[in-house]
Chain A
Amino acid sequence: MVVMIIKNKDDYYGSAIDRIAYLFWLSCGLNMLWIISFSYTWLGLSVVLIFAFAVTLSLIVKEIGKTQTGNRWLLPAAFGMYAGWLLIATVVNTAAWLVMIKWGGFGITPEYWGIIVEAVAVVLTAVITLSTRNAVFPLPIAWGYFGIHQFLMAPEGFQGQFGYLPIATLVGIVLLIGIAAFQFFKNRYQLMPDVTKKES
């Protein structure tokens, strides 16, 4: 934001301000409301808010893509990381709410649910990455999976009591890094493709 203020007369940053300002204001409002709702354990409301928040950030990333010229990296990196992190936070927030309402899970064991949720999150990440063409987006999710894996194996965590979930998590990390690498290659080694150049 500081860079955007300083460089507001620059074509790239000026255009980015025009495209994302209102969405960014909305994201800030949703962020604040989410923090308050989650802190008071109004988890149902927090799920609605974080979904709206994640969608808003994805739209911001998409809008940044429309202004992308040259080898600009600051906005795609900052908002790509932010939106990616929100996706994994949305998954965890939703899981917290389902636990709170004591959802039965159709009789499927928590371990298999964990694997299903991780697989769905990887597919969602692939869809959003291909749609926004932001190569950074999958990386914070891979980092989140690493944190999950560490906690699954840690003595103060689940102590390795699950057999398949840590393996699925590691596979998820590899796939997520692969998605990021694929998009980076597709973008001709840029975080987001240059809109002034025709895509190959």
Chain B
Amino acid sequence: MNRLTKAWISLILLAGTLVINGLGAFGFFNVPVAESCFGPVYDINYTGAFYFQHLECYLCAVDQRHGGDDHQKQG
């Protein structure tokens, strides 16, 4: 396989990855959770705070799946 083909395949895969990331960021794959969980997530893009918000969001999702509501109260 020549270098140009490899580079094109890389670009196409990168584009696909960005699409999947975009779908993930806009909740396409998300399990249904309360809207309040997602509130702050998209306000802060790609900073450490984003991940902490994200973490909180997903912990909230997990909590709800297991019937708890502790995180939801923090909302």
Interface residues of A (CB under 8 A from B): 1-2, 4-5, 8-9, 14, 17-18, 21, 24-25, 28-29, 31-32, 35-36, 38-41, 43, 85, 88-89, 92, 95-96, 99-100, 143-148, 150-151, 154, 156-157
Tell me how far the C-beta of B36 lies from the nearest C-beta in chain A, rounded to whole angstroms: 13
Main secondary structure of the interface of A (DSSP, over half): helix
Closest to A148 in B: B48
9 contacts between A and B (CB under 8 A): A5-B11, A24-B14, A28-B13, A39-B24, A43-B58, A88-B51, A92-B51, A96-B55, A156-B40
Closest-by-CB residue of B relative to A96 is B55
Rounded to whole angstroms, the CA-CA distance of A38 and B20 in the bound complex is: 12
Query: How many pairs of A and B residues are in contact by the CB < 8 Å rule?
Result: 111
Q: Given A25-B10, A32-B20, A99-B59, decide whether A147 and B51 contact each other with a Cβ distance below 8 A.
A: yes
5 closest A-B pairs by beta carbon, nearest first, are A147-B48, A39-B29, A144-B48, A21-B6, A28-B13
Contact check: which of A8, A24, A99 meets B3 at CB < 8 Å?
Answer: A8
Q: A25-B9, A36-B29, A88-B48 are in contact. Are A43 and B14 (CB under 8 A)?
A: no
Known contacts A24-B13, A39-B29, A40-B31; A92/B3 CB under 8 A: no
